[in-house]
Amino acid sequence: MNTPLPPQRRPIRALADMLISQIAAGEVVERPASVVKELLENAIDAGASRIELQIEEGGVRRVAVIDDGCGIPEDELALALQRHATSKITSLEELERVGTLGFRGEALASIAAVARVRITSRTRNAPNASVLDSADAHVAPTAGTAGTTIEVLDLYSQTPARRKFLKSTGTETAHCTDAWRRVALAHPQIAFTLRVDGRRAEHYPAGSWQARALAGLGDDYAKAHRETDSGAGTLALTGLLGLPTHSRARADRQFVYVNGRFVRDRLLTHAVRQAYSDVLHGDRQPAYVLFLNIDPALVDVNVHPAKTEVRFRDSQAVHRLVFHAVRDALRTTAAEHPTLTSDEQRRWSAAAGPAQMQGPARFTPVQGALPIAEPGARPGAPAFSYSTALRPDASEAALGFYATGQDAPSNYGQPAGSMYNTDQPVENAAASPVQDLQNHATAQAGAIPALGYAIAQLHGVYILAQNAAGLVLIDMHAAHERIVYERLKRALDSRQMPRQPLLIPATFRAEAVDASLVEEAAETLTALGLEMSLIGPTAIAVRTVPAELASGDPAALARSVLAELREAGTARALTEHRDALLASMACHGAVRANRRLSIPEMNALLREMEATAGADQCNHGRPTWVQVTMQELDRWFLRGR
């Protein structure tokens, strides 16, 4: 048998400088887009006011960045390509509060290790420009204006192994464009131009941060966003947040910056995601541009050579700020932001799939503005079961929902909020909706609430209302579900979930795991307003339900809560999974499709929507209402042409 010879030991030697750079290049220059990022960051550090990026053949043939910054003196040109040579820091102390994007002094050296680099530069008071070519390391005078042009040619031509990992030209171009956009979004005071294979592909003029951020999010978000500006001094967050109604299938419009540096940070992404979870459940992705400004001494950016990771000294404080700022910015009411136009809505439905309203053709004219709810119009949909016997108090009146056929006091036409006061003199009790509408037509425009007044119910699903701008369509189940959800949240947060004892406990059979949960998770269940007990090895009795959900089916509610607890784990049910849990509970209490609502009931729902932060969208990020303006209606009917 041949035993393999031990490899011959070689003496330890220091690596050659070039080899060190080639090794380092593996981390810094992953693909052409990394070159783009490094060159753009250098131009920004040089104080440029205009920066142009040129890429050819996906950046593999050529990447060039032209800036009008401070320039590099002729005698320092050679140093720029040297490893560990930088003008940006000189001490550890400076590193700890670094304000420039670069500081490691290795980007150009790494790039020069895997490509040919040509630097042409001129400082403001130099008589001419100078050029250095890494191919011959020779510096020569040349013509040129103040500023610097760095060209990177034939990337990876010497390291074919790397070149093999590159994707198609189109893919590499897309990565370069992404890298360009990420850098450009954070520097609105600088004008950025992008040329791809000689053609001007994009241009961002210098301007406000909002305009720049919007350019990054895209036209779809022109109106569909909220602005946030929170915190101050050493810890502040500004940014634009895409509305949940404009969520995306991919996380391709999420930009987070720490002190002007694009980062991929788990902590920050988690905080944003959690803040959106209140209005966007499931796997849809929100779009946003967020700038966190923090005292440089409180964050470590020297975690990875590409500097896309950071470490915060007080990560809890950062998480809190981001979470609250984003959540508060998203929690607005219809009254504060009255226009989600049907154009925006159409775009949403085209992107998200579920056909809700795809244009005028789906509209059936409403004759005479009378309620046309048809119970049973949608076969298979469960009928609304409403049991006044289960109601703890007069809350059905407070809610403004009344059992079918039951006469409700009509406060139609009263100022917002008056539906809650059922002691008010009943006015117009017998008035027809048409009359009511006429009354409203004469009302002052300023007095019309944001969502207007209900006119009719459409196929038991939508409420039609008239407001100052025109027609409002409301998804009644989604809107009510959202309101119930917000109430449940408030009740749970204040640890006072009003409970409704059931005169006759609802019993059902469950699996053994669920049965054991009834005892294990008793405390959690009680907090949620659900009291259950075992009445047999697999038989469960529900004794109380949250008062808010008393109208629903107690057994179905209990089953669904137990299923959620089983999936999320009792420990996390009320923390990480709280929103999802309450959302599914709310679904059990919300008014069902095909429930015939009276005009006052519909108006009460509208008033409540206006008063409820976050009621503009359902728990899945779909809009709960859509505005169709008179102008749009006129367009449909070709009026005024």
80 binds ligand ATP (CB under 6 A): yes
Question: Which tokens belong to 629?
Answer: 């303006």
Would you say 42 or 612 has its CB closer to ligand ATP? 42
Of 20, 61, 78, 105, which lies in the binding site for ligand ATP, with binding defined by CB under 6 A? 105
**476, 502 in Cβ contact below 8 A?**
no
If DSSP codes are grouped into helix, strand and coil, which group holds residue 433? helix
C-alpha 38/C-alpha 404 separation (Å) is: 67
Q: How far is the CB of 77 from ligand ATP (least distance, A)?
A: 9
If DSSP codes are grouped into helix, strand and coil, which group holds residue 444? coil
**633, 470 in Cβ contact below 8 A?**
yes
Q: How far is the CB of 150 from Mg ion (least distance, A)?
A: 10
- Amino acid (1-letter code) at residue 441: A
Question: Which tokens belong to 173?
Answer: 């171009």
- Amino acid (1-letter code) at residue 580: A
102 binds ligand ATP (CB under 6 A): yes
Would you say 34 or 345 has its CB closer to Mg ion? 34
What mask of x and - would describe binding to Mg ion in positions 14 to 43, judged by CB under 5 A? ----------------------------x-
107 binds ligand ATP (CB under 6 A): yes
Q: Which positions ≥6 away from 305 have C-beta within 8 Å?
A: 24, 27, 28, 104, 106
Binding residue count for ligand ATP, defined by CB under 6 A: 23
Sites for Mg ion among residues 38-67 (CB under 5 A): 42
Would you say 71 or 452 has its CB closer to ligand ATP? 71
From the list Mg ion, ligand ATP, none, pick the one residue 254 interacts with, judged by a Cβ distance below 5 to 8 Å according to partner type.
Answer: none
Sites for Mg ion among residues 403-462 (CB under 5 A): none
Sites for ligand ATP among residues 7-66 (CB under 6 A): 38, 42-43, 46
235 binds ligand ATP (CB under 6 A): no
67 binds ligand ATP (CB under 6 A): yes
Sites for Mg ion among residues 507-546 (CB under 5 A): none
600 binds ligand ATP (CB under 6 A): no
Q: How far is the CB of 143 from ligand ATP (least distance, A)?
A: 18
- Amino acid (1-letter code) at residue 566: R
Would you say 102 or 452 has its CB closer to Mg ion? 102
Q: Which residue is nearest to ligand ATP (CB)?
A: 102
Residue 68 CA from chain centroid, whole number: 36
What are the residues facing 200 on neighbouring strands?
195
Of 72, 256, 454, 618, which lies in the binding site for ligand ATP, with binding defined by CB under 6 A? 72
Q: How many CB atoms lie within 10 A of CB 575?
A: 8
**53, 80 in Cβ contact below 8 A?**
no
From the list Mg ion, ligand ATP, none, pick the one residue 148 interacts with, judged by a Cβ distance below 5 to 8 Å according to partner type.
Answer: ligand ATP
Of 50, 61, 88, 347, which lies in the binding site for ligand ATP, with binding defined by CB under 6 A? 88
Would you say 44 or 214 has its CB closer to ligand ATP? 44
**141, 56 in Cβ contact below 8 A?**
no
Sites for ligand ATP among residues 281-340 (CB under 6 A): none
Would you say 147 or 546 has its CB closer to ligand ATP? 147
Would you say 104 or 595 has its CB closer to ligand ATP? 104
Q: How far is the CB of 98 from Mg ion (least distance, A)?
A: 12
Burial pattern 190-222, b for ≥16 Cβ within 10 A else e, equals bbbbbbbeeeebeebeeeebeebbbbbbeebbe
Nearest one of 496, 498, 543 to 395, comparing CA atoms = 498
**183, 44 in Cβ contact below 8 A?**
yes
What mask of x and - would describe binding to Mg ion in positions 91 to 110, judged by CB under 5 A? -----------x----x---
Q: How far is the CB of 640 from Mg ion (least distance, A)?
A: 58
Question: Which tokens belong to 371?
Answer: 């309620």
Q: Which positions ≥6 away from 186 have C-beta within 8 Å?
A: 257, 260, 261, 262, 291
Helices (H), 443-542: 476-493, 512-520, 522-527
Q: Which residues bind Mg ion (CB under 5 A)?
A: 42, 102, 107
Q: Which residues bind ligand ATP (CB under 6 A)?
A: 38, 42-43, 46, 67, 69-72, 80, 86-88, 102-109, 148, 150
